[in-house]
């Protein structure tokens, strides 16, 4: 290429040095940083430019000129189209190495003195206990299919960058094993019954989502069908046939939701079983209903709880706030160690689950507050020794951050599934008088660019021994 800015369609040869934040292979060409889709660090490629923003260029591989020593064949038949597991063509050890490098760069502005190695996932395949599949009437035609392949009904995952096209997933290598067969049955039964899939442009069609969840410890499996209307004449026979084929499905629920937004949820009808599943984790038993958040990788959530316990350092009687508590995972894990915990959560069914989960586990020193944290935290009169904070991907609401600083707990254990938004919050907390002591990353999402990370903050003005309720070693239960 000549000495000019790269343009769409240009071909550029470059070495892929590392992974960029979205999992694409990153290399340099002059002053330009290239993110090349599907390219693996250590390879040399000819890249075809499809977009440029200032000195950042997005490209795809035109030709692999020299393979990488850490490349491997992706297991997934949909790897080229899906985009969900961007790292499947990289050995797992190399994924961790590159994730660690990317994390180091993301965390640099927070100046964290101690960043631990990533806790690897012992079983990096079929680890997800929840899959949210989408129905659509615009099936994506994959590269290895004939151009006249059926392009209507589909149920699977969104194709990267396409809100309207659905990849008709035949097999997902990170979903729990039974999910693939149930997905195939739902597709076959729905097509045989002539049921319509949601048309995202015209806003019509019956079937919207199929959410599948499994309790790994209990083996219980839930299917949640999200539809635009209740349509019992269509849904009841579908559920009956599904149960004949999959007797391991312990519960089936339906959510009716005719809004246009692309989200699961709505009015719930239990079509079979109890409407909930159960999971065991960290020596505790959890009831999980369809609308409640639960960590999606059960084995690695065990590691996460271990780390949160090690960093929270609670002693019996310590007062803990668990902000964004979901169905009470960290609340109950810390209450079991003797802390007096208040959990705060927005979703009513998650709060119901959290309260029932406290009862299931015989834990009384815990209280759950329902509502938006912006309001519920403002109304709180107690002051915590320790705060666990586990916000959704965008991070903590600025007003909640301000209230957190004003509450002045001696320790904050900040759990994040998005280190980028966490860093912004950590910088605000630092300005509010906290030291960021440590970061401990956990790979909850193998083969993807996502990483969970636990940050420990201490109040800079706290005494060296901590407060009276904080002193001493953690109590293992």
Ligand X SMILES: C[S@@+](CC[C@H](N)C(=O)[O-])C[C@H]1O[C@@H](n2cnc3c(N)ncnc32)[C@H](O)[C@@H]1O
Q: In b/e form, how buried is each residue of 274-287, taking b as 16+ CB within 10 angstroms?
A: ebbbbbebbebebb
> Using the 8-state DSSP alphabet, how is residue 108 labeled?
G
In whole angstroms, the minimum distance from the beta carbon of 114 to ligand X comes to: 23
Which letter, b or e, does each residue of 236-261 get, where b requires 16 or more Cβ atoms within 10 Å of its Cβ? eebbebbbeebeebbbbbbbbbeeee
Structure token digits, residue 231: 């349509």
CB of 326 to ligand X, least distance (A): 3
In 3D space, the residue among 34, 5, 14 whose CA is nearest the CA of residue 22 turns out to be 34
User: Which residues have CB under 8 Å from 381's CB, separation 6+?
Assistant: none
H-state helical runs in 246-328: 298-312
Q: Which residue is nearest to ligand X (CB)?
A: 326
Residues in contact with ligand X, shown as a per-residue x/- string from 315 to 354 under the rule CB under 6 A: ---------xxx--xx-------------xxxx--x----
Distance CA 445, CA 1 (A): 38
Contact indicator for 115, 293 with CB cutoff of 8 Å: no
Dig out the tokens for 460 from the structure.
């800079």
Say if CB 413 and CB 308 are below 8 A apart: yes
**What is the C-alpha separation between 256 and 229, in angstroms, rounded?**
5
The footprint of ligand X on residues 387-406 (CB under 6 A) is: 390, 392
Structure tokens at 336: 């079991």
Q: Of 406, 405, 458, give the one whose Cα is nearest residue 429.
A: 405
Question: What residues contact residue 417 under an 8 Å CB cut-off, 6+ apart?
Answer: 393, 444, 450, 451, 452
> Is 417 annotated in the active site?
yes
Pure H helices in 108-231: 177-192
Judged by beta carbon, residue 235 or residue 284, the one nearer ligand X is 284
CA distance 290 to 276: 7
Letters for 262-301 (x = contact with ligand X by CB under 6 A, - = none) are -------------------------------xxx------
The site string for ligand X over 370-389 (x = CB under 6 A, - otherwise) reads --xx----------------
Is residue 50 within 8 A of residue 15, CB to CB? The reply is no
How many CA atoms lie within 13 Å of 90's alpha carbon, on the beta-carbon side?
28
What does the DSSP 8-state code read for residue 169?
-
344 contacts 321 by C-beta, under 8 angstroms? yes
Rounded to an integer, what is the distance from CA 125 to the centroid of its chain? Answer: 15
Measure the N-to-C terminal CA separation of the chain; round to a whole number of Å: 64
Taking the C-alpha atoms of residue 329 and residue 345, their distance in angstroms, rounded to an integer, is 12
Size of the residue set binding ligand X (CB under 6 A): 17
Q: In terms of Cα–Cα distance, which of 129, 149, 130 is closest to 139?
A: 149
Q: Specify the residue for token string 């984790």.
A: 281
Longest dimension (CA), the chain: 72
DSSP state of 14: E
Among residues 76, 82, 85, 417, the one annotated as catalytic is 417
Closer residue to ligand X, CB minimum distance, 79 or 330:
330
Taking the complex as a whole, the smallest distance from the CB of residue 2 to ligand X amounts, in Å, to 49
Pick 293 or 368: Cβ nearer ligand X: 293
Interaction site with ligand X (CB under 6 A): 293-295, 324-326, 329-330, 344-347, 350, 372-373, 390, 392
**Residues involved in catalysis:** 417
């Amino acid at each position: 290429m000549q000495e000019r800015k790269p343009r769409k369609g240009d071909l550029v040869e470059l070495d892929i040095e590392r992974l960029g934040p979205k999992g694409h292979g990153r290399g340099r060409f002059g002053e330009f940083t290239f993110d090349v889709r599907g390219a693996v660090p250590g390879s040399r490629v000819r890249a075809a430019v499809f977009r440029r923003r200032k000195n950042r260029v997005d490209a795809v591989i035109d030709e692999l000129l020299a393979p990488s020593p850490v490349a491997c064949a992706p297991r997934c038949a949909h790897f080229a189209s899906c985009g969900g597991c961007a790292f499947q063509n990289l050995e797992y050890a190399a994924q961790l190495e590159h994730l660690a490098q990317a994390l180091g760069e993301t965390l640099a502005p927070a100046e964290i003195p101690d960043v631990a190695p990533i806790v690897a996932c012992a079983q990096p395949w079929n680890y997800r206990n929840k899959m949210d599949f989408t129905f659509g009437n615009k099936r994506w035609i994959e590269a290895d299919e004939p151009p006249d392949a059926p392009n209507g009904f589909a149920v699977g995952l969104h194709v990267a960058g396409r809100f309207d096209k659905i990849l008709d997933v035949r097999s997902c290598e990170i979903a729990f094993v039974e999910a693939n067969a149930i997905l195939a049955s739902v597709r076959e039964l729905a097509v045989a019954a002539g049921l319509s899939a949601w048309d995202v442009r015209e806003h019509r069609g019956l079937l919207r989502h199929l959410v599948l969840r499994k309790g790994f410890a209990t083996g219980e499996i839930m299917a949640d069908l999200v539809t635009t209307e209740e349509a019992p004449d269509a849904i009841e026979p579908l559920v009956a046939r599904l149960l004949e084929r999959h007797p391991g499905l312990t519960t089936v629920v339906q959510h009716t939701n005719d809004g246009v937004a692309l989200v699961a949820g709505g009015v719930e009808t239990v079509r079979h079983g109890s409407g909930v599943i159960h999971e065991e984790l960290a020596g505790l038993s959890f009831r999980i209903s369809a609308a409640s958040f639960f960590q999606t990788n059960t084995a690695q959530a065990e590691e996460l709880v271990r780390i949160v316990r090690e960093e929270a350092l609670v002693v019996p009687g310590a007062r803990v706030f668990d902000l964004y508590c979901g169905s009470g995972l960290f609340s109950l894990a810390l209450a079991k160690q003797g802390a007096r915990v208040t959990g705060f959560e927005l979703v009513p069914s998650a709060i119901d689950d959290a309260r029932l989960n406290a009862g299931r586990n015989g834990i009384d020193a815990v209280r759950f507050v329902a509502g938006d944290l912006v309001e519920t935290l403002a109304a709180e009169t107690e002051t915590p020794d320790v705060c666990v904070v586990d916000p959704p991907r965008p991070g903590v609401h600025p007003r909640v951050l301000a209230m957190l600083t004003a509450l002045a707990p001696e320790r904050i254990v900040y759990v994040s599934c998005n280190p980028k938004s966490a860093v912004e919050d950590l910088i605000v907390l630092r300005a509010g008088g906290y030291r960021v002591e440590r970061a401990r990353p956990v790979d909850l999402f193998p083969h993807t660019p996502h990483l969970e990370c636990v940050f420990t903050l201490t109040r800079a003005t706290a005494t060296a021994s901590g407060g009276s309720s904080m002193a001493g070693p953690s109590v293992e239960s």
